[in-house]
Amino acid sequence: MLNNPVLDTIAKRSSIRAYADTPLTCEQLEALKLAVLASPTAVNAQAQRHLFITNPDVLADIEKAVVDKLLASGDQATIDRIAGRNYKVLYDAPLLVIVAIPADGTYYKVDAGIAAQTLALAAKSMGLDSVILGMPAMAFTGEGSEALREKTCFPAGLEYGIGVAIGHRAMDKDPHEYDMAHIIDVK
Per-residue confidence (pLDDT) for residue 89, from 0 to 100:
97
pTM here? 0.95
Among 155, 145, 164, residue whose Cα is nearest residue 62: 145
100, 155 contact by CB (below 8 A): yes
Report pLDDT digits (tens) over 7-51: 999 999 999 999 999 999 999 999 999 999 999 999 999 999 999
Domains and CATH numbers, the chain: 18-171 (3.40.109.10)
Query: For residue 113, how many C-alpha atoms fall within 13 Å in the half-sphere facing its CB?
Result: 5
Report pLDDT digits (tens) over 108-124: 999 999 999 999 999 99
Q: In what order do the strands lie in the sheet with 95-102?
A: 49-53, 95-102, 158-167, 129-133
Angle at 80 between CA 95 and CA 23, to 5 degrees: 15
